Amino acid sequence: MNRSIITILLFLGAIGLISSFVLPKYQEGQALQQKIIQARQELQVKDEYITSLYDLSSELEKHKEEMAKIDTALPSEPSLPVLFNFFQQVSAQNGLILKNITVNVTPNSEDSEIQEIDIQLSVIGSYSSFKNFLFNLEKSARLFEVENISFSLGEEESSFNLGLKTHSY
């Protein structure tokens, strides 16, 4: 009887040791397997995302020229010296004298990232030169909106005041 009690006690002790040492390790192993499965799924989703980004990038490369035109039409910065130079060149090409230029940049509003740039130009020259000047503004890659035009006619030269609006983001 002594032997059977010792056997039962040893058996119960072995079960206790197994439940206290082996079972937690088994549960840790199961949890790690679940984490591995989850990590593989996340990796697969990220791989698919990277593949879609690569496809989009190659698609954008096909339209690089059009994107450059959009960047020219709606630049990321107001770049006032570039605007001043543009108006000086276009007015000179059309036989006008750029007398005065005033620029007012309206900052971004909270709901829009686009800045408005109001431009007031004063030029001196003939009506046909001014007409060509407006035509060249219309043909330029940069988007300009004519807000107002006023003029005073002279015998030899006329003075034209032009209000424009353009944008940047």
The strand ranges marked E within the chain are: 97-106, 115-125, 145-152, 158-168
For residue 92, give the CATH number of its domain: 3.30.70.60
Q: What is the pLDDT of residues 71-110, one digit of tens each?
A: 665 666 667 788 888 889 999 999 999 899 988 887 766 6
Q: In the prediction, which pLDDT does 7 show?
A: 80
* 152 shares a domain with 89: yes
The answer to whether position 93 is within a domain reads yes
pLDDT score at 22: 72
Distance separating alpha carbons of residues 162 and 155, to the nearest angstrom = 20
Q: What percent of the chain has pLDDT over 70?
A: 90
Q: Give the pLDDT confidence score for residue 6 in this predicted structure.
A: 80
pLDDT at 110: 66
Please name the residue that has the structure tokens 């032997």.
3
| Both structure tokens of 123 | 């030029």
- Provide the whole-model pTM: 0.57
Put the strands of the sheet holding 158-168 in their side by side order. 97-106, 115-125, 158-168, 145-152
Tell me how many domains the chain contains. Answer: 2
Q: Are 146 and 134 in contact (CB under 8 A)?
A: yes
